[in-house]
Structure 1
Amino acid sequence: MRGAAGDGILTVMNDIATLDRRQGPHGEVVLRQRGAHYEIIANGCFLMDTSDGRSERLLVDAAYATLSPGTTRPSLLIGGLGVGFSLVHAAQDPRWGQIAVVEREQAIIDWHGTGPLGAISGPALSDSRTRIIQADLVDYVRTAQETYDALCLDIDNGPEWTVTEGNGGLYSPAGLAHCARRLRPGGVLAVWSAQPSPAFEQALRNAGFTGVHTEEIRVARGVPDVVHLGVRPA
């Protein structure tokens, strides 16, 4: 029996259904359903699921709140489509202008376009402000010409816990310099992480970002999820 997203075979084990499994250019990506929720696994590493979404919403809200008060209809670049929570939250806020999402995995784009995740992201994908860019974010920030008022990154479990080795370059001095060039003066870089990273805060300062700070999302157990923020000087 084919999975809902098309290429993978639907398998069920211990109340966990594997809906799709694909080999992409950066390894294996899997869409699973656990009860009423969906989860994405990349190269055997749990990436995200649809059980909460607080941290994805905070990522977008914290970026907006850090912008200069006079910024109107700011443009937003989201790194990683994931389960769609960041995009959906941004599209529900009329204060945002253009919203671009960079996603490298065709499978994830398909899961939203024709698969079960479309139930979450459908209206946001249909929003005239939304544009999906299929590209590797590391390459995109290095080579693109477009600039944005805010850049929200949620492609890894954090700067020190990347899904693939190549992503590490995004958080290096060169990678942060590329991120800064994708931002307009006064633009905000917001980076989601599964744990606080004082070292990454210092890396942001070393890269020239100002107003560097971290916002926490409390969890029931363990260290809090966080959003690291910095501003490109005007």
Structure 2
Amino acid sequence: MSASTAPVTLDRREGPFGEVVLRERGTDFEIIANGCFLMDTSDGRSERLLVDAALAALPRGRTAPAVLIGGLGVGFSLVRAAEEARWGRIVVVEREQAIVDWHRRGPLDRISGPALADPRTEIVHTDLLAHLRTATERYDALCLDIDNGPEWTVTEDNGTLYSASGLAACKERLTPGGVLAVWSAQPSSVFEEALRNAGFSAVRTEEVAVARGVPDVVHLAVRAS
């Protein structure tokens, strides 16, 4: 993606969580939330790693595991999950109706169209933390990507997800041996410690190098069997 290419705004919406904007820059799309760059379609390696690493960390022999993807974004994590036949149910929780619309009836359909049509896929339009606290079903993996990281949230309320109560809700929604995977634009030793304090085991961080600056990372943790 050329830094000199001026972005073109395709849609701008005001919702209950603030403003969300879809922009096109050259051949890529960008999502901006409340003036904060959230993600674009220029790469996507770390969003794919989010799903791959969670699957690899599951206990051997687990068949048709269910995965919850927190945040639809530009669709890379959903597409990766749908490409993998081993996943069973694929649930995507997205609180911004605009983002859902951009995938179902807008420009992002070219990325996620086949994955949305996959019979395993279900889109749930709600706040992620509310879903984690009120849902009754459990998942084998939670793949969360709703912020730029635990220490760089899109809205102030999102910080609760990474608190002790938020991590307890994540743990409750996981099956024994289930995996929590959290995307971040930078490593966080503080979040790693929070995961351990919440009772997760096998806490580790996988990195994906970027062109400039610190690497993107995926924080991984396991609910004890």
Q: Which runs of 4+ in 1 moved over 6 A?
A: none
1:170 to 149, 161, 169: 161
- Post-superposition offset of 1:134: 0.2
1:144 to 112, 120, 135: 135
1:187 to 171, 174, 178: 178
- Post-superposition offset of 1:215: 0.2
- Give the whole-Å Cα distance in 1 for the aligned partners of 2:220 and 2:133: 20
The count of corresponding residues between Structure 1 and Structure 2 is: 222
Q: How does 1:192-203 map to 2 (within 5 A)?
A: 192-203=183-194
In structure 1, the partner of 2:76 is 85
Q: CA RMSD in A?
A: 1.0
Asked whether 1:229 is paired with 2:220, we answer yes
- Post-superposition offset of 1:26: 0.3
- Give the whole-Å Cα distance in 1 for the aligned partners of 2:84 and 2:134: 29
In structure 1, the partner of 2:57 is 66
- Give the whole-Å Cα distance in 2 for the aligned partners of 1:229 and 1:149: 13
The residue matched to 1:20 in structure 2 has which SS?
strand
In structure 1, the partner of 2:27 is 36
- Give the whole-Å Cα distance in 2 for the aligned partners of 1:69 and 1:45: 39
TM-score (norm 1): 0.94
- Post-superposition offset of 1:15: 2.9
- Post-superposition offset of 1:104: 0.1
- Post-superposition offset of 1:70: 1.6
The residue matched to 1:228 in structure 2 has which SS?
strand
Aligned-pair identity (%): 73
What are structure 2's unaligned runs of at least 5 residues?
Answer: none
In structure 1, the partner of 2:121 is 130
- More deviation in 113-122 or 64-73? 64-73
- Post-superposition offset of 1:156: 0.2
2:144 to 125, 137, 153: 153
**AA of the residue aligned to 2:224:** P
